[in-house]
Amino acid sequence: MRFRPLVPTLALALPLAACAGGGSSAADMAGPPALAYAVPPGGAVTYLQGDTVDMEIDAGGQTMEVSVAMSAVLDLAYAGGGDAVEVTASYREFDIAASNPLAGSQRGDESEIGGPIVFSIDRRGVGTLVSAPEIQGVSAQAVSPATMAASFFPRLPGRAVTVGEMWTDTVTIATDEDAGTSEGTTIYDFTVVGDTTVAGGTYLKVAFTSYDERVTETMQDGAEIRQDVAGEGSGWYLWDSSRNLVVQQYVEARLRGSMDVSMAPVPLGLDMVVVQHIVLDDGGMED
């Protein structure tokens, strides 16, 4: 799970997890499908993204509630191949709205994102940032190019798998951007569930659980803010073996920790629930 945690005025980068595709079943292949990324047919896909965060801040017995909702239409263009697939991610539409009892309502949109985010991935989804646009306003608290490059796509084993097979992967990330710095580690445990049918297509379903630890430092309205959170999550993704991409992903996680604010006499408690859902825009695919 990838995110930049909340701060009182907003300060949230919602997780950008992967999704794409649409097509055939593992049963259509000569053998078990290989879970490995490749350039999809046509070289481009579009995703619909919807994320929410509901957070409680405990300020010495007084509780403040903060909510953030983000939606996006994200166009991805692919080039290259093998262990060097280049992905150009462009926000055709983007909207983020935050409600905070201290700062009021805040809003951002795609006009604050100055261009595409370009990164490369290998067959397992390990990413490297190539270029990043200037991001301003509220959107800078929610869109992290370095985080997208490191974790937009879920990690894959890069080989064929069978139903019931399990594996573990660890993703580490360290970012230093205008919105702040972040260091974290996420441990994933994956299990192959089997084929499932959605909107007329049959896909391989992979379920997972996660444990995430993250420390973030930022500056907001002249205050230095340090957040230290950790928690567990669970979710699943659907794999399209014909296009070597994920068609849909859902994640829900609960994260708890503390927030140190330079102007506050004691640390503040944090408790947040994060929900993410990304789905291919492919003629009305549904859950």
State the Cα–Cα distance between residues 43 and 122, nearest whole angstrom: 16
Contact 41, 21 (CB under 8 A): no
| Concatenated DSSP letters of 4-54 | B--BTTB--B------------GGGSSSSPB----PPTTSEEEEEEEEEEE
What stretches in the chain show pLDDT beneath 50? 1-30, 284, 287
Residue 180 has what pLDDT? 85
Q: What is residue 110's three-state secondary structure?
A: helix
Say what percent of the chain tops pLDDT 70. 86
Q: How far apart are CA 124 and CA 31, in angstroms?
A: 19
Residue 34 is classified by DSSP as: B
**pLDDT, tens digit, 9 for 90 and up, residues 60-77:** 778 889 999 999 999 999
Single-letter code of the amino acid located at 103: A
Residue 32 is predicted with a pLDDT of 65
> Do 229 and 257 form a contact (C-beta atoms < 8 A)?
yes
pLDDT at residue number 13: 36
